[in-house]
Amino acid sequence: MYLYDFDNPYRILAHHIVSSYRPADVLRCLTDNAYLKTLIVKEVREQDLGGHFIDCIIEDILEEKDRMEYMHKLDILASYYYSRLDKGRLRDEILAVLNSAGIEL
């Protein structure tokens, strides 16, 4: 499907997870759907969405003390991303990275 490993976004994500996370967290990625969703929510909330319009709008949202509603909307975006995540494919890639490195959890 992909000519090179670095063309495969799930392989890249698997390498990131295996190389950056503690073994217990890698295991959670393999077994715990709620943990994966939490990781996505955290990442979405930490994104620095930028642009002339977005910067202006976010500044108004924060000045109007609507941060909670803004976070809720980001959580909805994170839920959409999570629904698109191919968990089986990700887990297969994580296992392949672990196996190729000779790592047993």
pLDDT at position 5, please? 67
Low-confidence ranges of the chain (pLDDT < 70): 1, 5
Per-residue pLDDT, 64:
86
Q: Residue 95: what pLDDT?
A: 97
Burial 67-102 (b: 16+ CB within 10 A, else e): eeeeeeebeeebeeebeebeeeebbebbeebbeeee
Residue 11: exposed, middle, or buried by beta-carbon count in 10 A (0-12, 13-18, 19+)? buried
pLDDT of residue 40: 98
Q: Decide if 28 contacts 35 (C-beta within 8 A).
A: yes
C-beta separation of 62 from 70 below 8 A:
yes
Number of structural domains found in the chain: 1
Task: Collect all residues with Cβ–Cβ distance below 8 Å to 41 and sequence separation of at least 6.
Answer: 74, 75, 78, 82
What is the reported pLDDT for 30? Answer: 98
In terms of residue numbers, what domain contains 73? Answer: 5-101
